[in-house]
Structure 1
Amino acid sequence: MLLADHEHRIKLRALRYRFPVASGDQYDDNWLVIGGEVTTPEGGWSFADPCLLTDEARQLSPWLRAVGGAMPTDAQSDLHFLEPVLSFSRTGSGLVRIRLSHEAAPPWRDRDEGLDEYVLEIKTTIADLHQAADEWDRCLAPFPPR
């Protein structure tokens, strides 16, 4: 899934289950390792972290479609997950805000001082949001809940 504008770019994809063999544990079996590539005016970096459960990952596509459509109440809500590595929100000015923290934060951030959160604000269109949602759905297809 790609979201980008003239200053920022983030590409997210599901790479694999954290644990390749299901053990019968509802959480351990369903952690997905998410890979990200980020480009900003300050620099670029990549990350890979088991930060989304399969059910959480499936919340992103409907959220992207909602913020790109005419659903004002749901479209304005933030999307947070159990692990605080990624979160998403939409501003009233057509910006999608993506917060990257902990393992997804830029490597130059000083984690000892609590400055590890990095916020991307990406100006996007309805078509871009729907395309990102479609890409995300295709990316998740090989990773059903176990």
Structure 2
Amino acid sequence: MELKDLSGIPRVVLHPVEYEFASAMGDAWDDNWLVIAGEVTAKEQKWSFRHPSLVIDEAIEIAEWFERVANRREAPTGLRGNGGIEPSLAFTEPNLAFSVKSYGEDTAVVRVHFSLEALPPNHRGPATDQIARYTFSVELEIPFTDALGAATTWRKELAVLPRR
């Protein structure tokens, strides 16, 4: 799934690439963890990551979230008390999250939040676990058609990694 700002940058690419554990072990939770690969270009930063980040049911929620955005059914979120932004879609493993900043006539400004292993390298380090989660995000203004396209692409990519 590729998200690209109307200006071309920032750009966020996310792909579910494989199960964390190649062989199912009979544990419905552990058997369904997905490794997510990401490539991010934002302002003067470019980085990538590859880490177990979502279980399949959480991954499906991403497609549903983008469909809600495309139909203006996802409420914009603002600042939290600690200065971070409250994501409207967050997961068990706090590497990724999503929120809407605002809506235009036929666009949405979405935020992709990064934390822990998904942070840019210059934001990682021993103190990473101690900082407030989701204080680092990338904002992208995308057309509603791109939000629907992201949902469709994400579902297709997930189809090769069914629930085990």
The equivalent residue for 2:99 is 89
Quote how far apart the aligned CAs of 1:42 are. 2.2
Give structure 1 regions of 4+ aligned residues with deviation exceeding 6 angstroms. Answer: none
Counterpart selection for 2:159 from 135, 141, 144: 141
Tell me which residue corresponds to 1:109. Answer: 123
3-state SS of the aligned residue for 1:29? helix
1:45 matches 2:53: no
The alignment-based identity, stated in percent, is 38
Partner of 1:76: 75
Offset from partner CA, 1:79-107 (integer Å, 9 cap, x none): 11001100001122421011111110000
| 1:3 matches 2:3 | yes
Distance of aligned partners of 1:110 and 1:29 in 2 relative to their CA distance in 1, 3 Å threshold: closer
The residue number in structure 1 matching 2:144 is 126
User: What is the aligned-residue RMSD (CA, Å)?
Assistant: 1.6
Q: Which runs of 5+ in 2 are unaligned?
A: 77-87
Q: 1:40 & 1:30 partners in 2: Cα distance?
A: 30
Contact 1:97 1:121 in 2 (8 A): yes
- In structure 1, list runs of 5 or more residues that go unmatched: none
- Partner of residue 114 from structure 2, selected from 100, 107, 113: 100
Residues in 2 aligned to 1:113 and 1:59: alpha-carbon distance in whole angstroms: 30
Residue identity in the other structure for 1:126: F
Contact 2:116-2:124 within 8 A present in 1 as well:
no
